[in-house]
Structure 1
Amino acid sequence: MIIGILKEPSFETRVSLLAESAAALIKKGNKVIVESGAGEKSFNNNQEYEKVGAEIKSRAEVLKQAEILLSIHPPLDEDFSKINSKILLGVYQPLSNGENVLKSIEKKMTTFSLDMLPRTTRAQAMDVLSSQANIAGYKAVLLAAHSYGRYFPMFMTAAGSIAPAKVLILGAGVAGLQAIATAKRLGAVVEVFDTRPAVKEEVMSLGAKFVEVDGAADASSAGGYAVEQTEEYKQKQQQRIAESVAKSDIIITTAQIPGKKAPILITEEMLNSMRDGSVIIDLAASTGGNTPHTKNNETVNYKGVSIIGNSSLQSTMPSDASKLYGKNVSNFLQLIIDKDANLNLNWEDDLVKGACITHNGEIINDRVKSALSPAMNN
């Protein structure tokens, strides 16, 4: 197979495959072509790729020659008319990005979006959401520490004692758990809220206090994602969160629901209860944020509280983020490329079928089909 690696848009620092991942594919008989400069922001220049046997091409050449085209973000609008690839593979958020799904249908491309993988044990080696969220949780705490005007740990000195920072983490998924571990390493006192009671043990094992709210909807069948809650539960949730928010110095929010606007967890009334100098890092900023004042890629000062909206903190560590992402991609490619380096789409494989969005001019993913059916019928 000819595997093409595109250069990402200017705001993105990562690349689909570093040279080390490209080398492994080449050893298995694949040909890897790389758009010139694709890895520079991830500290992999053209020479690094050439050393392992990859070929450097122009963007037009990669679009024309690749049989499998790799790009973290969807190709540009003008790219679609030039793409000859059979397969498009990346993280395309099809539940909320219908335009690119429709373009793939027009081109009769087979599109795989790794954010749609079933979140099963077998899929863990290909789970790009987890590998990137781990980085985001880590960097969220470091960004908070940098932005916060006080110490994180407790200090006892001759000049007086400093109390440790109180950190509240909303959401104990991969990002939240890494944020807990990082905040504890920095010496903070950590409280954690999550709608899933099942994560309590993990939270406590990391040394944090779990904030419990009774009556949460069962999320066991949601594949590891958050689910919509009842109004009664939301009221209880807000009351309990409000108590924790009022005494918190740092809040890190991670709550998102696939294909929907992020839930507001920190209301304006709660923000008003926070003391000057407090910091909120909102990792759900790209889908609206968990506060009413969050703006993606911006820092908003609300009555002395800094609300930092950033859903792409993984891109601040481009080399390691690309390394982990590339390993996820390489593992998935093993499912669709056989030992003779030929394409082999096994639709009986739940991971292949689950990650596939379009094939032969049709949407084959049921969740995406349901989300986009109103737009397609107009």
Structure 2
Amino acid sequence: MQIGIPTETQAGETRVAATPETVKKFVAMGCKVVVQAGAGVASSCIDSAYEAAGASIAATAADALGNADMVLKVVAPTADETALIKQGATVLAAFAPHQNPHFDAYAAKGLTCVAMELIPRITRAQSSDILSSQANVAGYKAVLMAANEYAGLFPMMMTAAGTIKPARTVVLGVGVAGLQAIATAKRLGAVVEASDLRPAAREQVESLGGRWLDVPMSEEEAAKALSTGGYAWQPSPEYIRDQAAVVDKAVSNANIVITTAQIPGRKAPTLVKAETVAKMKPGSIIVDMAVSTGGNVEGSQLDQTVVTDNGVRIVGIGNIPALVATEASALYARNMLNFLAPMHNKDTSEIVLNREDDMVKPTLIVDAGTVNYQKPN
């Protein structure tokens, strides 16, 4: 079985889908691995390291993809890339299926497309969960980006010239990225507050040393939120109003704000209104981690830093993991390996997708040229 690893072509994408570490393990399984020259350079994975791991180096994408039975990518293949892929091959990548325009090209090539971001959130799938691994590094990097933009300091400092107060940081959305952002900001010495629709997140926030932005709710709402885990909970208009007031007060007094809330297949919810930004102190920093899906902050712009009239800087980088490509690639590549390794047949040295597996089935957006994925309305 031949596995192809091409160089990513999307602008700004510095990650790679396989590292020398994972290539070595695929080779040990009996697979032939072909890596396009320079595919891992931006991730600190040089060609000679791939060769030492047992891979062959191909001069072009066509050479890497043309005979590959399986293709590993970070970003879904474009129409031009798809034209280079072998008929009937299996492609694993982050396909962003709700906005991907290339399904007809995949079907025409008879591809089997595995959307890694659709791996279900079940216990045995955790080691293959690309969303969690990439959110972790993004949450860390977002705080460092904010610290770099901020003209002040994060920790409290007591000097002969006076005391410097710690930066007040607010994190909105306490998933994987939000928790990592809280932990990183605390390590840098900031005072951190956080908010999320899930009441269960309070314990996680407080365990990291953050303060929970509490929004009073009725017993009925509390029971509803707890029973659904918060993800499917539809809060009342009164709760939404009260939460907005709490967030407005906290953000208005913050030096640093990190927003992380995204809904797969839908526009990101607006968490910070323009009128709230207008109340913030000059020099305050907002990092909108949801900018690529519409943004949590009114006024944020994709891949731009917007400076408001009152001197607030809104940072909107769409692909934060690509800024820490070495570790992001290492984690992503391990996710790929962990997903495929259980389906390796030692007798034939083949990796065969188990289409009935609960972890595999939801990811098959295209199966041997048949489009399975239905875009949400």
TM-score range, shorter chain: over 0.9
Residues 140-194 of structure 1 deviation map (CA, whole Å, 9 limit, x = unaligned) = 1111111111111111111111111100000111111111111111111000001
Q: 1:225 to 1:91 in 2, by over 3 A?
A: farther
Q: Which ranges of structure 2 fall in alignment gaps of 5 or more residues?
A: none
Give the alignment partner of residue 284 of structure 1, picking from 285, 290, 293. Answer: 290
User: How many residues in Structure 1 have an aligned counterpart in Structure 2?
Assistant: 367
Instruction: State the shift of 1:238 in Å.
Output: 1.0
Q: Which moved more, 1:74-83 or 1:209-218?
A: 209-218
Contact 1:74–1:100 under 8 Å retained in 2: no
Alignment-mate amino acid for residue 268 of structure 1: A
Alignment-mate amino acid for residue 122 of structure 1: R
Report the counterpart of residue 174 of structure 1 in structure 2.
176
In 1, the alpha carbon distance for the partners of 2:317 and 2:237 equals 28
In 1, the alpha carbon distance for the partners of 2:226 and 2:32 equals 43
Contact 1:219–1:226 under 8 Å retained in 2: no
Q: 1:298 to 1:226 in 2, by over 3 A?
A: farther
1:317 match: secondary structure: helix
1:28 maps to 2:34: no
Q: 1:111 to 1:218 in 2, by over 3 A?
A: farther
Report the counterpart of residue 338 of structure 1 in structure 2.
345
TM-score between both structures, scaled by the size of structure 2? 0.93
Alignment-mate amino acid for residue 147 of structure 1: E
1:243 match: secondary structure: helix
Alignment-mate amino acid for residue 88 of structure 1: V
* Aligned 1:321-360 pairs, distance under 5 A: 321-339=328-346, 340-360=348-368
Contact 1:226–1:256 under 8 Å retained in 2: no
Residues 39-74 of structure 1 deviation map (CA, whole Å, 9 limit, x = unaligned) = 111111211111111011121122211000111112
Instruction: State the shift of 1:220 in Å.
Output: 6.4
Report the counterpart of residue 313 of structure 1 in structure 2.
320
Residues 47-106 of structure 1 deviation map (CA, whole Å, 9 limit, x = unaligned) = 111111101112112221100011111223212223115201011111222x12332223
In 2, the alpha carbon distance for the partners of 1:88 and 1:233 equals 44
* Aligned 1:118-133 pairs, distance under 5 A: 118-133=120-135
Instruction: State the shift of 1:131 in Å.
Output: 0.8
The alignment yields a C-alpha RMSD, in angstroms, of: 1.8
2:258 match: secondary structure: strand
Instruction: State the shift of 1:348 in Å.
Output: 2.2
Q: Which moved more, 1:85-94 or 1:354-363?
A: 354-363
In 1, the alpha carbon distance for the partners of 2:353 and 2:153 equals 54
Q: Which ranges of structure 1 fall in alignment gaps of 5 or more residues?
A: none
2:351 match: secondary structure: coil
Instruction: State the shift of 1:221 in Å.
Output: 5.6
| Percentage of identical aligned residues | 43
Contact 1:219–1:225 under 8 Å retained in 2: no
In 1, the alpha carbon distance for the partners of 2:343 and 2:364 equals 11
Contact 2:78–2:102 under 8 Å retained in 1: no
Instruction: State the shift of 1:212 in Å.
Output: 2.3
In 2, the alpha carbon distance for the partners of 1:124 and 1:248 equals 34
Give the alignment partner of residue 273 of structure 1, picking from 262, 269, 279. Answer: 279
